[in-house]
């Protein structure tokens, strides 16, 4: 699989339409992956995302230690994988043992193969951001590198006529991305 680097100011276009994501991280010899639907861009350039990382998860524990994470976008064929990594804990079993990964380009994070795009991120810090993270599990992260599967990146966005993203409705039910429409200016 060949990847294209996505220019940082365009990375919001990977997530703008609200797809489910996989969040992976590594801290030393411990690594994990979970599902996260509550992820969205909050700034274009330099790109920032907001993401909810529940305090009860093992992934959150590792991110609190490492400060880095990858947010990647699964496609339709990975709905089952997404549901599975989202409903089991890395504290109980090594979820990545059975999942093919490859190394981040910039950060020491495992990227999940088969996704349509990958965003490597660092947790942003300030006294206010740290307090909001502590109180609400709501983190702001800086995107430091992004790439997409060559087959699905078309210069300015994901070619959603050739691949479908999955969007979690709740309870293991997902809606797929459908037809695209253009509004008149």
Alpha-carbon distance 17 to 38, whole Å? 12
Per rule CB under 8 A, is residue 19 in the interface with its own copies?
Answer: yes
- What is the CB-side half-sphere exposure of residue 103 using CA atoms within 13 A? 4
Site track for its own copies across 40-79, x = CB under 8 A? xxxx----x-x-x-----------------------x--x
Per rule CB under 8 A, is residue 171 in the interface with its own copies?
Answer: yes
Q: What b-and-e string marks burial along 174-184, b requiring 16 or more CB atoms within 10 Å of the CB? A: beebeeeeeee
By CB under 8 A, the residues from 22 to 41 that bind its own copies are 37-41
Per rule CB under 8 A, is residue 142 in the interface with its own copies?
Answer: no
Q: Please give the residue ranges that form the binding site for its own copies (CB under 8 A).
A: 12-13, 16-19, 37-43, 48, 50, 52, 76, 79-80, 82-84, 87, 126-129, 131-132, 135-138, 140, 156-158, 160, 164, 166-185
């Amino acid at each position: 699989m060949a990847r294209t680097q996505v220019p940082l100011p365009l990375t919001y276009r990977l997530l703008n339409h609200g797809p489910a994501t996989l969040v992976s991280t590594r801290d030393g010899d411990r690594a994990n992956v979970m599902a996260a639907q509550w992820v969205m861009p909050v700034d274009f350039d330099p790109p920032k995302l907001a993401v909810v990382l529940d305090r009860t998860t093992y992934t959150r524990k590792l991110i609190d230690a490492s400060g880095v994470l990858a947010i990647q976008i699964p496609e339709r064929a990975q709905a089952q994988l997404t549901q599975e990594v989202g409903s089991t804990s890395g504290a109980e079993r090594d979820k990545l043992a059975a999942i093919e990964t490859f190394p981040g380009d910039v950060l020491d994070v495992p990227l999940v193969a088969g996704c349509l795009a990958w965003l490597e991120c660092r947790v942003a810090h300030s006294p206010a951001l740290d307090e909001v993270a502590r109180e609400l599990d709501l983190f702001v992260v800086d995107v430091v590198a992004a790439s997409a599967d060559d087959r699905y990146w078309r210069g300015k966005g994901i070619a959603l006529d050739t691949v479908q993203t999955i969007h979690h409705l709740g309870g293991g039910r997902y809606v797929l991305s459908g037809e695209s429409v253009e509004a008149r200016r």
